[in-house]
Amino acid sequence: MKNLQKYTKKMIAGLTTMAAVTSLWTSGTQLISAQEEATKGPISVGIFQFNDHGSLNANREGFIDGLAELGYVEGENLTIDYMNANADIANLQSMSESLVNNNDYLFAIATPTAQALAGATTDKPIIFSSVADPLGAGVVDSFEEPGRNLTGTTNIGPIPEQIDMLFDITPDAKKVGIIYNSSEVNAQYQVDIAIPEIEAHGAEAVLGTITSTNDISQVMSNLVKEVDSVYLVTDNYIAASMPLVGDIAKEAGLPIIGGSNDMIIENGLATFGLDYYELGVQSAEMLVRIIEEDLDPATVPVEKAKVLELIVNEDYAEVIGIDPTTIKAPAESAE
């Protein structure tokens, strides 16, 4: 009996010791975790947005939320310095210089702001997003090896798949209209991809080019008279004017396919495209890797969107007499 009591006491003592060790280990882990959090930042990020519309706003919001999810919270260990050029080219140089002078890291939303920041610093890390053709824009040497102080996410959509979807919806289309700002490098890049895709379906691409938002009403009104459907690229000027663009197409009874998810949600028929909020989150993840792993942006590959989805605007479909349930994602259509 005495041996049993001794054994029981030893077990209790052992369990007590184990509990103490476990408690110390847990406390230590929590302490290390707290110390790791304390080492994040403080940092300042200058955000430079080209203009104000749904896609770019979502891009910015996703970026800020993405940083917060990874431990960089505005007002705690993160300072955000936000500027919007309001699509005014004259604002780009002065604003970019101010952001460079006052921040540790920079986030450029859209091609013109990425180019402006690239011209303002060759040292501070710049993450860009909503740049369809960073190579053509001159901000990287290649997607795999950017080669400079810039890297980020491209908003180039799955153009071939979007064109396939357009012809699934309007199989008899002979002329497809494209309205875009010909002075935007990113827009022209996408149009150059779209034209041969349209021609491969035996149709003609009819281009309507603008140089400012003031041109949109006349150019779009003329375009819809000549075409059977409209394809949109992710053009900043068109995206900011979707209420007008969509209304003109609806009045003509024409579907609008392509562009960004936000453009279609606002006033188009359908797209298989990227979520700009998620693209912002993805951009934030890139910045955090650069900060915490001490990476050189010159060696961090440019990334394409990881999240693509089918968007169908049922209200638009009803107006032009199309059953929204017949519209499928390209992969589904091919099955």
- Spell 299-319 as b/e; 16+ CB within 10 A means b: ebebbbbeebebbbbeebbeb
230 and 318 assigned to the same domain? yes
What are the pLDDT digits (tens) for 113-169?
999 999 999 999 999 999 999 999 999 999 999 999 999 999 998 999 999 999 999
53 and 113 assigned to the same domain? yes
Rounded-to-integer distance, Cα 76 and Cα 79, Å: 8
**Number of domain units in the chain:** 2
Q: Which of 256, 235, 261 is nearest to 245 (CA)?
A: 256
178 and 318 assigned to the same domain? yes
Which tokens is 62 given? 């996703």
191 and 269 assigned to the same domain? yes
User: Considering the domain boundaries, does residue 244 fall inside one?
Assistant: yes
217 and 328 assigned to the same domain? yes
User: Considering the domain boundaries, does residue 261 fall inside one?
Assistant: yes
User: Considering the domain boundaries, does residue 286 fall inside one?
Assistant: yes
User: Considering the domain boundaries, does residue 3 fall inside one?
Assistant: no
Rounded-to-integer distance, Cα 239 and Cα 321, Å: 24
Which tokens is 97 given? 């210089």
Concatenated DSSP letters for 234-296?
--HHHHTTHHHHHHHHHHTT--EEES-HHHHHHH-SEEEEE-HHHHHHHHHHHHHHHHHTT--
189 and 290 assigned to the same domain? no
**pLDDT value of residue 153:** 98
133 and 183 assigned to the same domain? no
pTM of the model: 0.77
- pLDDT by residue, tens only, the chain of 335 residues: 444 444 444 444 444 444 444 444 444 444 434 444 446 879 999 999 999 988 899 999 999 999 999 999 999 999 999 999 999 999 999 999 999 999 999 999 999 999 999 999 999 999 999 999 999 999 999 999 999 999 999 999 899 999 999 999 999 999 999 999 998 888 999 999 999 999 999 999 999 999 988 999 999 999 999 999 999 999 889 998 999 999 999 999 999 999 889 899 999 999 999 899 999 999 999 999 999 999 999 999 999 999 889 999 999 999 999 999 999 998 654 43
Sign of CA dihedral 318, 323, 328, 330: negative
198 and 211 assigned to the same domain? yes
194 and 282 assigned to the same domain? no
266 and 190 assigned to the same domain? yes
User: Considering the domain boundaries, does residue 22 fall inside one?
Assistant: no
260 and 314 assigned to the same domain? yes
User: Which residues form the domain of 301?
Assistant: 43-155+275-307
Q: Are strands 175-181 and 105-109 parallel, antiparallel or unpaired?
A: unpaired
196 and 257 assigned to the same domain? yes
Sheet holding 43-49, edge to edge: 78-84, 43-49, 105-109, 126-129, 150-154, 303-304
CATH (domain of 280): 3.40.50.2300
**pLDDT value of residue 39:** 61
